[in-house]
Structure 1
Amino acid sequence: MFIKEFIDYLLLERKYSVHTVTAYKTDLMSYVVFYEKEYDQKDISKSNYAQIRSWIVSLVDGGVSNRSINRKVSSLKAYYKFLLKTGQIDKTPLAKHQALKVSKKLQIPFSNIEVDKVLNGLVDGEDFKSVRDRLIVELFYATGMRRIELVNLKINNIDLLGKQVKVLGKRNKERYIPLLLSTVVTIKRYLELRTEVVVESKNPFLLLTEKGVKIYETLVYRIINRYFSEASSKVKKSPHILRHSFATHLLNEGANLNAVKELLGHSSLASTEVYTHQSVAQLAKVHKQSHPRNKK
């Protein structure tokens, strides 16, 4: 089936993260299970589009969202492209497949007031947990980094003197993001308290749990969700929305789209442009308030 070879290709040649590669493998195995059950075969490299289409239909019938189905099919498409590239097949069964339609969900960022409310609520806490949680909120809002990027931050990624942080993004691409002076102050205080939970441990990661081990993604999500639930009535309260807020607020203040793209670690402007709708809304507000014709 060449699945192992495909996984090695993603890890070693494409330099995808372990997290991303695991997602690819999970999607592929989902089809392998279906293929074996329905057609009594295991080698999906010999599958055809009609069989894949049956799998897609079964996913729809099972209540899987179009967005999730598209992701699974995208993983399968990448697998067949790999087989095509390595000469294992002469054509991909998904060559003419069209993705299912997905309704675009508007990601509503937190307002400046909501972010300030959360940070002001954390300013008085001087214990390890309070300072760590404040640092997590500050890092997301001050840098716009992804959740997995924050989790994987190491102490030596922080340059306090230069007021910047080195972030390892998708495909192991490095980028440097400036740090606010207030965030530098919080980092210094956190590092002082950090020695209380690690003692003799040589854990290189910046953010730790109260037990002195590396923080994990679900805990980061719970932290953001908990604090912003107290400050915001928005439906979605997650690290991604805080990253979204970082980008939107910069654009609202006149930041260059290309600059925001680099800060976010996007590979193309198309990914960054999703945030511009908020800037357009801000411009419309300014236009309405300032245009002389609107004053008549």
Structure 2
Amino acid sequence: MMIDQFLNYLRYERSASPQTVQTYEEGLREFESYISLRDSGLSLQAVDTDLIRDWMEGLMDKGNSASTINKKLSALRSFYRFSLKRGLVEKDPAHAVTGPKRSKPLPQFLREGEMDRLLDQFEWNDDFNNVRARTILILLYEAGLRRSELTGLNDDDVDFNAGQLKVTGKRNKQRIVPFGRELADALRQYMTLRDSQFDDNNGAMFLDNKGGRMTGSQVYATVHKYLSMVTSLKKRSPHVLRHSFATAMLNNGAGLESIKNLLGHESVSTTEIYTHTTFEQLKRVYKEAHPRA
């Protein structure tokens, strides 16, 4: 009866969609069945917080995702808020219950061997498109730039003498990123070829084939094309190269604080996800290599 009252409230007072009403009803009926199996004499009015937590733990044990459980909990919270306002219950047992955190997908990255194969073994020629594409790939991989940071890069941001880039990141926050000889050589070759083809670049580092500043979508298309040649990853975006940069740095002994500063993260907690990435990689290597894994 209580559930029916709530569903009618959703339909006629809140004008909720049929899909929303159905989703809420399924979750609430499932919870109602759960408490009747626990105790045939137990009613929705007598439910306490611990019982709701037990229900959620059972859902997790059955393999339900955090997203699914949170949807069911949301239905239960709405139901008990409604019931409390209408005087159908004396307290709201769902108010203090927090749902499980959704697990964030680990960042995808290319292995060092895949990047070596792309940059060193692929047959690059000396035309403008090839030189520009290779320079973009090296820059993203060796400096860990975001796509927007690359498209916003100007000639004045490159200091060849000091071997460093001035990068403008999110909220116009600037950071300095060092670079080595390979990237310096690639940038010089690209800039020489660019300047021979276009009279004026208006200060922009990367130009499209018409002489304008490259857009983010153009950079994406370039990266996607060449990553597709060496990896089967579903994601083949510029951000994958940023992840690859961070993972390679961590695998080769760089500290989290240093990687945080190079990436321009606000907090080291954001950078810590790469420790999970490298551990997952370590587990795969272990399972592939150990005879009794």
Range class of TM-score, shorter chain: 0.5 to 0.7
Who is 1:263 aligned against? 262
Q: How does 1:1-296 map to 2 (within 5 A)?
A: 102-121=102-121, 124-199=124-199, 201-281=200-280
Equivalent position amino acid for 1:277 in 2? H
Equivalent position amino acid for 2:272 in 1? E
Residue 107 of structure 1: SS of its match in structure 2?
coil
Residue 220 of structure 1: SS of its match in structure 2?
helix
Counterparts of 1:205 and 1:190, CA distance in 2: 13
Counterparts of 2:158 and 2:284, CA distance in 1: 38
Counterparts of 2:177 and 2:231, CA distance in 1: 27
Counterparts of 1:277 and 1:231, CA distance in 2: 24
Equivalent position amino acid for 2:138 in 1? E
Q: Which has the larger radius of gyration?
A: 2
Shift of 1:130: 0.7
Q: Is the 8 A contact 1:123 1:134 kept in 2?
A: no
Residue 230 of structure 1: SS of its match in structure 2?
coil
Who is 1:47 aligned against? none
Residue identity over aligned pairs, in percent, reads 38
Instruction: Figure out how many residues of one structure are paired with residues of the other and give that number.
Output: 204
Deviations 1:225-246 (A, max 9, x none): 1101111111111111110010
Counterparts of 1:99 and 1:160, CA distance in 2: 52
Counterparts of 1:122 and 1:192, CA distance in 2: 22
Q: Is the 8 A contact 1:114 1:228 kept in 2?
A: no
Counterparts of 1:219 and 1:272, CA distance in 2: 27
Q: Is the 8 A contact 1:133 1:223 kept in 2?
A: yes
Shift of 1:119: 1.1
Counterparts of 2:193 and 2:122, CA distance in 1: 15
Equivalent position amino acid for 2:250 in 1? L
Shift of 1:278: 2.5
Shift of 1:202: 4.5
Residue 187 of structure 2: SS of its match in structure 1?
helix
Q: Is the 8 A contact 1:168 1:175 kept in 2?
A: yes
Deviations 1:225-284 (A, max 9, x none): 110111111111111111001001110111100000000000001111111113324566
Residue 106 of structure 2: SS of its match in structure 1?
coil
Equivalent position amino acid for 2:165 in 1? V
Q: Is the 8 A contact 2:106 2:277 kept in 1?
A: no
Q: Is the 8 A contact 1:260 1:272 kept in 2?
A: yes
Q: Is the 8 A contact 1:197 1:211 kept in 2?
A: no
Deviations 1:22-55 (A, max 9, x none): xxxxxxxxxxxxxxxxxxxxxxxxxxxx99x99x
Who is 2:28 aligned against? none
Q: Is the 8 A contact 1:252 1:282 kept in 2?
A: no
Q: Is the 8 A contact 1:122 1:130 kept in 2?
A: no
Residue 228 of structure 2: SS of its match in structure 1?
helix
Equivalent position amino acid for 1:147 in 2? R
Q: Is the 8 A contact 2:167 2:177 kept in 1?
A: yes
Question: Using a 3 Å threshold, how does the CA distance of structure 1 residues 162 and 104 change in structure 2: closer, same or farther?
Answer: same
Equivalent position amino acid for 1:279 in 2? T
Q: TM-score, normalised by structure 2?
A: 0.62
Name whichever of 108-117 and 280-289 sits farther off: 280-289
Unpaired segments of 5 or more residues in structure 2? 1-12, 24-66, 68-95
Equivalent position amino acid for 1:231 in 2? V
Q: Is the 8 A contact 2:220 2:238 kept in 1?
A: yes
Counterparts of 1:202 and 1:109, CA distance in 2: 33
Residue 231 of structure 1: SS of its match in structure 2?
coil
Counterparts of 1:230 and 1:168, CA distance in 2: 30
RMSD (CA atoms) = 3.3
Q: TM-score, normalised by structure 1?
A: 0.61
Unpaired segments of 5 or more residues in structure 1? 1-49, 61-65, 67-95
